[in-house]
Amino acid sequence: MRKIGNFISASDTGEWISVCCEMLSIRIKETLAQQTQFYLAISGGNTPKVIFEQLIKSNYLSNDEWQKVQFFWVDERLVPTDSPESNFGNAMLFLKQLPAKFHSMYDAALGEDASLERYRSALQVIPQSNGFPLFDLILLGMGEDGHTASLFPQSAGLDETKEAVFINEITSLKSRRMTLSFPVLLQAKESFILLNGVKKISIMQEMIAGEQAYPIENLFRGNNPKHWIYCK
Ligand code: 6PG
């Protein structure tokens, strides 16, 4: 049984950003009424940037609330944080003004193995289930090849079930990236999948019709609530 989730369509980019901000801030507020920390994993790419810029500018959350949010990353390129390729570096350009806690995935000074070990221990602060961290919310994007996180088509990482985080060889990009594995994405308490643009919507429609097998479809194996928030 494929648990696809529910779909929220915005009429334009402005509404899409507002819906994402409203849903994200409501979820953080609701969760912080029940627990002292909010464990959030955000993706790279351009999508989270526009959402967090608006979220910060419009003061959806107080500093008191932000102090209880712990940011993790879904995936990362193996570059220094001051590289324009760095998901952490790009996000921190605006997130740094928040009194939240940030856990970067990759530190060029440490190198791959030590960065991986450091992130694996950072993930231990999060309550665990089935040996994997139980995020309160994961924000995911999707590439135009149907990848999510750094789980790309034909990459070995699609089948990773032992480690919560690992380095995936991505032959299509001739590159390697650190990424959370599907067992972590599948058991998050909730996922928001944020899509913008006609090409991505058509991929989403193909997936709903069951016509193609894209990496992101592995999310359908999870019983957790998934919200596809999109606009053309
Ligand atoms: C990355 C991201 C990646 C992203 C998709 C969508 O490191 O690039 O984590 O998985 O979510 O490529 O990117 P956009 O949001 O920029 O379209």
User: Would you write out the chain's pLDDT as a tens digit for each of its 232 residues?
Assistant: 788 999 999 999 999 999 999 999 999 999 999 999 999 999 998 888 899 999 999 999 999 999 999 999 999 999 999 999 999 999 999 999 999 999 999 999 999 999 999 999 999 999 999 999 999 999 999 999 999 999 999 999 999 999 999 999 999 999 999 999 999 999 999 999 999 999 999 999 999 998 789 999 999 999 999 999 999 8
- Calculate the alpha carbon distances from 107 to 27, 80, 88, 204 in Å: 30, 7, 10, 34
**Joined tokens for residue 115:** 């960065």
Beta bridge partners of 231: 196
Closest-lying ligand 1 atom to the alpha carbon of residue 200: 17
pTM over 0.85: yes
CA nearest ligand 1 atom 2, residue? 44
CA nearest ligand 1 atom 12, residue? 143
**Joined tokens for residue 94:** 């605006």
CA nearest ligand 1 atom 7, residue? 44
Closest-lying ligand 1 atom to the alpha carbon of residue 147: 10
Choice from 47, 71, 203 to test ligand 1 binding pocket (greatest atom count within 8 A of CB): 47
Q: CA 134 to CA 131: how far, in whole Å?
A: 9
pLDDT at 40: 98
Q: How many Å lie between the centroid of ligand 1 and the Cα of residue 33?
A: 31
Question: Is there an atom of ligand 1 within 6 Å of 148 CB?
Answer: yes
Residue whose C-alpha is closest to residue 222's, from 175, 190, 178, 179: 190
DSSP secondary structure of 14-58 = HHHHHHHHHHHHHHHHHHHTT-S-EEEEE--SSHHHHHHHHHHHT
Q: CA 110 to CA 118: how far, in whole Å?
A: 9
Residue whose C-alpha is closest to residue 19's, from 232, 195, 229: 229
Question: Is there an atom of ligand 1 within 6 Å of 45 CB?
Answer: yes
Residue whose C-alpha is closest to residue 145's, from 201, 211, 215: 215
pLDDT at 34: 98
Q: How open is the CA angle 191-59-10, to the nearest 5 degrees?
A: 45
SS3 158: helix
Q: CA 139 to CA 90: how far, in whole Å?
A: 16
Q: Torsion angle of alpha carbons 126, 130, 132, 134, nearest 10°?
A: -40
Residue whose C-alpha is closest to residue 213's, from 227, 200, 203: 203
Choice from 148, 179, 203 to test ligand 1 binding pocket (greatest atom count within 8 A of CB): 148
Closest-lying ligand 1 atom to the alpha carbon of residue 177: 7
**What are the φ/ψ torsions at residue 192 (nearest 5 degrees)?**
-110, 125
